[in-house]
Structure 1
């Protein structure tokens, strides 16, 4: 079964998944928050997910950031909709900056809207990789 990670935002949710053997994390897509439940319903018609990994935005002192309230609501609905799938929260403080650096290094030219979506999916992938690395120890 796969692991699925979310980089939640009020405008976009970046989504990443592992392969079924949980070896490689891959960017999947970006979905508008209004469409996430429909997307997940369709995804689960063909794929199984063992664990949800949710990026948790923290401030530098480790306390919740202002946007954490939105993620809390998303996490509650995930738990209610998919009660058998555990949710793991991972510190996501630096994932957007790291994702932007990856894009800059790849020299891909995209318009700003596409670039923001790419940042979200790469951020979700970094969140997932972080979880996989901590799980390995």
Structure 2
């Protein structure tokens, strides 16, 4: 498995974790942009992991990004812990490094924009990936 820092182009899958839905996006370090993908309905952990396995097999990402929800002051809450657990499970299941990105306002901003209605989760995953690329450049 190549090290993400030794590969000139890093492919990354991003996840906006939710207890009901998980938004997914894919991006690369060359463009620093993300392509919004599907939403995984998070109703059965086995099926959820199978769908993520299929995405990893298809895209062969170097690493994964998971949004980390926190309160506006940065304090953690119940969903922060769930997102961390989700990221840890991804590392355990797939052996890929997981990076957490502050998602404090991504979903809130998208929910206020009518063009994203029904697609908030995946667009939030896309924003997370773009933020990840900006922070690393």
Q: Deviations over 1:34-80 (max 9, x none)?
A: 23211122223332101111100111221112211221221121111
Give 1:32 deviation, angstroms.
1.5
Alignment of 1:1-137 (within 5 A): 1-19=10-28, 21=30, 23-33=32-42, 34=44, 35-83=47-95, 85-101=96-112, 103-104=113-114, 106=115, 115-116=117-118, 118-136=119-137
Gap regions ≥5 residues in structure 2? 1-9
RMSD after superposition: 1.9
Moved over 3 A (4+): 19-23
SS in structure 2 at match of 1:88: strand
Provide the TM-score with structure 1 as the length reference. Answer: 0.81
Gap regions ≥5 residues in structure 1? 109-114
Q: Distance in 2 between matches of 1:41 and 1:20?
A: 22
Where does residue 4 of structure 2 map in the other structure? none
Q: Distance in 2 between matches of 1:20 and 1:129?
A: 9
Kindly tell me the number of residue pairs found equivalent between the two proteins. Answer: 125
Is the deviation greater in 33-42 or in 46-55?
A: 33-42
